[in-house]
Amino acid sequence: MQHSPEFLALVQASKAHVREIDLAGLQALQASGAPFHLVDVREDREWQAGHIPGAQHLGRGVIERDAIGRFPDKGATLVLYCGGGFRSALAADALQKMGYTAVISLDGGWKAWTGAGLPVAHES
């Protein structure tokens, strides 16, 4: 997908304030047994087509509105992912502005997960 320079500038500004991990970092977190919420911020149709097993869906379009109801503990670790790591960085930045202190964006997102041939869930 070709992104506009304006969008890319917005993403880069958000990424400057957001902690990111790569796929290996996510797998290490999963293996550690540490509690965290894996949150898919993609659109409904993307979620329904497949998602990372164990993920919860809270789309980018409603995350600011619905996050506190879903994740009332603002200190809980939230790992957000989208298609490639742009929307998740924007969402992570917004959640941090709302007071969440342990938000992480998965760099590479869904593309990295599926590109590595990892399991895909299809339940809604």
Domains for the chain: give ranges and CATH numbers: 5-115 (3.40.250.10)
pLDDT of residue 113: 98
Radius of gyration in angstroms for the set of CA atoms belonging to the chain, rounded to a whole number: 14
Mean pLDDT of the chain: 96
Taking the C-alpha atoms of residue 44 and residue 60, their distance in angstroms, rounded to an integer, is 10
Is 82 marked active-site?
A: yes
pLDDT of residue 97: 97
Residue 105, classed as helix, strand or coil, is: strand
Taking the C-alpha atoms of residue 19 and residue 4, their distance in angstroms, rounded to an integer, is 23
**Annotated active-site residue in 52, 82, 89, 112:** 82
Please report, rounded to a whole number, the percentage of residues in the chain having pLDDT higher than 70.
99
| Locus of tokens 């070709």 | 2
Q: What's the whole-number mean pLDDT along residues 118-122?
A: 96
- Sheet hosting strand 103-106, strand order edge to edge: 19-21, 103-106, 78-81, 37-40, 56-57
124: pLDDT confidence band, cut at 50, 70 and 90?
low
pLDDT digits (tens, 9 = 90+) for 21-61: 999 999 999 999 999 999 999 999 999 999 999 999 999 99
Q: What's the whole-number mean pLDDT along residues 71-77?
A: 98
